[in-house]
Structure 1
Amino acid sequence: LVQNGTLKRGDSLVVGENWGRIKAMSDYEGNQLKTAGPSTPTIILGLNGVPAAGEVFSVTKNDRAARTLAAERQNQASRDTRGASPLPMTLEDMFARVEGGEAETLNIIVRADAQGSLAPIIHSLEQLDNDEVKVKIMQSAVGNITESDVMLAETSQAIVIGFGVNIDKAALVRAEQSGVEIRHYQIIYNLIEDVEQALRGMLDPIFEEVVTGHAEVRQMFRVRRGGLIAGCMVLDGVVKRNSQARLLRNDATVITTTIENLKRFTEDVTEVRDGYECGINLAGVNSDLQEGDIIEVFERQQVR
């Protein structure tokens, strides 16, 4: 059951410890769907396993993020069973965790070749801290990366960063065994840039709603498989198939949904511009349409 947003064929998603890409969607009557809006019961095909009833699903940016997040959840479930310590993280893992709404802090252990290098590195990393995502320096010191650094990273899900230093052999062995990521740099700018990019990926995206067009309902008619169709005139902008839309009546919102199908006469089209007539099928709208209703089409654009 979709709770918010729009589910589309081809989306990558995670459900509990399972992941996949949506290959096909249908409603409870077996009718094929291209999109599914809020409160729409949906059957999907494409997961790599069968999730338990009640599991929450979330859409991710791509297959890699979905696969990584599912693997992390599987490892977490295994660790919970064994009572083991958390699995170490990499900067790449942080992107997947945040896409699943699970990361707020980036733990870092820093080793540098001299105090004159360590101080500006710590200062620069602390400047990256913000209200949404925290940079936490778990430990910082001058000298080579040691096994104890890796052990601390293992238990605190931290990333070990070295600047101009070597890595002790015991630390390398431990890191390989535990999966702790060690990043080594010779230029401070590159070090800070990598962490900054990771933090940008960790920030919750901010979206801005942009209205792209309006269409007026002139008449209604039904088709055998397409449900209720609104015969409309596009008043301004452009109306696109699969766009989000609001049905307005007397300036009040009746429903927020998506444009499931869009036609020009009998032909399926992807968009219709102002001054042209079209047929619009709104997802979830099977009866509540009136002449004079306005369909406001909009999209959510990411501004950060």
Structure 2
Amino acid sequence: MRASGAQVTDIAVLVVAADDGVMPQTIEAIDHARAAGVPIIVAINKIDAPGADIDKTNAQLAEHEIIVESYGGDTVAVPVSALKGEGIDDLLESLLLVAEIQELKANSDRPGIGVVIESHMDRSRGSIASVLVRSGIVRTGDNVVAGRYRGRIKSMVDGFGDVVPEAGPSTPIEVLGLNGTPAAGDQFDVVASDREGRDLVTTRERLASKRKATRAATTMAEVMRRVQLSDAKELLVVIKTGNHGSIDAVRRAVEQVSNDEVQVRVLSASSGAINESDILLASASNAMVMGFETNVETGARKHADTKGVTIRTYDIIYNLVDEVEDAARGLLEPERKVVVTGHANILEVFTHGKREQIAGVRVTDGVLKRSGRMRVFRGGDEIFDGAITSMRHLKDSVRELTNNFEGGIKVDGFHEYQEGDVLEGYEIQVTRR
């Protein structure tokens, strides 16, 4: 979502709380702004909050190569309090100054062009697309094309919630009248007629089909290569988001969890409430359903319980990604680590019955545990490895023998002890990755 926003922005305002400082999402926003090549203005917010430290915040920004003017850099930083309105005028003046330096201008004398920020389907009003006008004028009644959808604008609402008859460059608007929900980042164009709109949609659909076929061929080749070269496991996910603009961001975040051992594959990603169709897809593929800023239809919840399909919903994308990472780790074999607990020297060998032997030992370091395992070494070479079946101190059965204690030990399946052999006790620690 931050990536999509950065791509349509002329100037990025990086809001950093003076009490919290630079957070992970701040770093992410910096990276997206740099990738988009847009200038950054820092708004240091909450300057009136307890614990606010502007100098500390500036220092943290410097660690990420955002050097503010007070530190000798060229990045404008403005202290503000959104709660009290302090510094807002200074921030607006800074925006105008940077815009003038960057020579940011737009042509209003042409049909409108914009970009879709997000879209969703409203049950009562139909498709609603949030659009940022980049150039020209958009008017109510215009024939428009957004991505692969078209329509005639029935109504426009500006950023203040007011119905407006027209909108110029740099104006965010909500547009009603499209015949579908375009994707975030789709181009928005005013066209001369419905006929021209149909032709443009046809052209875009043809180009999209070609790109999809190319991607599919490349992806299939890559999947086959990975199958042949590795035993990577696969985690399948069905994604539903509350609005269209979140789909690509959530998909990217989920797919980036993939690594050499686990491939995270998104079976489907769409907007709207989680429904029975999503559950059927997940059930047939043994996938999990993950919702972001959306809800679950009652019928879908019951269907999931019946089919044993896991549904998770989130309002914070980092929590969603954490859940996917946990699920991916759950597919991996746990790590097994050998931890040596102690050693003992065999001082004497006792025979019990026809073949059974008991090693009389003295612990030289650490501890030997009845619940652990034992390696037998002779002349520095390991000759046996097995479980401990008996451990005694004098006549008592004990759970462990500690340093300098003597006792008798039997190892399951071994009957060839010799004086001078060394026993090494160890445990296998199993940890989930």
TM-score range, shorter chain: 0.5 to 0.7
Q: 1:243 to 1:175 in 2, by over 3 A?
A: closer
Q: 2:350 aligned with 1:238, yes or no? A: no
Residue 107 of structure 1 pairs with residue 229 of structure 2: no
**Distance in structure 1 (CA, Å) of the matches to 2:238 and 2:270:** 9
State how far apart, in whole Å, the 1-side matches of 2:362 and 2:255 are.
55
Which of 286, 297, 302 is the aligned partner of 2:425?
297
1:123 to 1:265, Cα distance in 2 relative to 1, 3 A: same
Residue 280 of structure 1 aligns with which residue? 409
Q: Distance in 2 between matches of 1:214 and 1:112?
A: 58
Amino acid aligned to 2:417? L
Q: Could you say what secondary structure the match of 2:377 adopts?
A: strand
Q: Which has the higher contact order (CA 8 A, sep 6+)?
A: 1
Q: Which structure's residues are more often helix, by fraction? A: 2
Distance change >3 Å, CA 201–CA 262, structure 1 → 2: same
Determine the C-alpha separation between the residues in 1 that align with 2:315 and 2:332: 27
Contact 1:211–1:298 under 8 Å retained in 2: yes
CA RMSD of aligned residues (A): 2.5
Pairing 1:23-62 to 2, within 5 Å after superposition: none
Tell me the amino acid that sits aligned with residue 220 of structure 1: V
Bigger mean CA offset, 176-185 vs 126-135: 176-185
Percent identity of paired positions between Structure 1 and Structure 2? 38
What CA distance in whole angstroms lies between the structure 1 residues aligned with 2:425 and 2:324? 38
User: What are the equivalent positions in structure 2 for 1:139-288 lying under 5 Å apart?
Assistant: 139-168=268-297, 171-172=300-301, 174-223=303-352, 227-286=356-415, 288=416
- Greater Cα shift, 277-286 or 145-154: 145-154
Alpha-carbon distance between aligned partners in 2 of 1:246 and 1:170, rounded to the nearest angstrom? 58
Question: CA–CA distance in 2 between the matches of 1:246 and 1:228?
Answer: 16
The one-letter amino acid paired with 2:361 is C
- The amino acid of 2:426's aligned partner reads F
Shift of 1:167: 3.5
The 2-side partners of 1:233 and 1:273 are apart by: 9
Deviation at 1:256, TM superposition (A): 0.6
Alpha carbons of structure 1 residues 240 and 166: separation in structure 2 relative to 1, 3 Å: closer
Amino acid at match of 1:242: S
**In structure 1, how many angstroms separate the alpha carbons of the residues matched to 2:289 and 2:354?**
58
Partner of 1:275, secondary structure, is coil
Moved more, 277-286 or 205-214: 205-214
- Stretches of structure 2 that go unaligned for 5 or more consecutive residues are 1-231
Q: What secondary structure sits across from 1:191 in the alignment? A: helix
User: Is the alpha carbon distance of 1:173 and 1:283 closer, same or farther for their aligned partners in structure 2, counting shifts above 3 Å?
Assistant: closer
Deviation at 1:257, TM superposition (A): 0.6
TM-score of the aligned structures, taking structure 2 as reference length: 0.43
Letter in 2 for 1:295: L
Q: CA deviation at 1:224?
A: 5.2
Q: Deviations over 1:107-160 (max 9, x none)?
A: 110011223322222122112112222211001012222332222112111112
The 3-state SS of whatever aligns with 1:196 is helix
Distance 2:382 2:300 in 1: 61
Partner of 1:73: none
Give yes or no for contact 1:161–1:183 (8 Å, CA) kept in 2.
Answer: yes
* Structure 2 Cα separation of the partners of residues 168 and 302 of structure 1: 40
* Distance in 2, Cα, partners of 1:165 & 1:225: 73
Distance 2:303 2:362 in 1: 67
Q: In 2, distance between residues paired with 1:186 and 1:225?
A: 70
Deviations 1:54-110 (A, max 9, x none): xxxxxxxxxxxxxxxxxxxxxxxxxxxxxxxxxxxxxxxxxxxxxxxxx93221100
1:135-189 superposed Cα distances (whole Å, 9 cap, x missing partner) = 1100101222233222211211111212222334554454344333332222223
**2:413 alignment partner, SS class:** coil
Q: Work out which of the two has the higher radius of gyration on C-alpha atoms and give 1 or 2.
A: 2
Q: Structure 1 181/211 Cα, relative in aligned 2: closer, same or farther at 3 Å?
A: closer
Report runs of 4+ in structure 1 exceeding 6 Å deviation: none
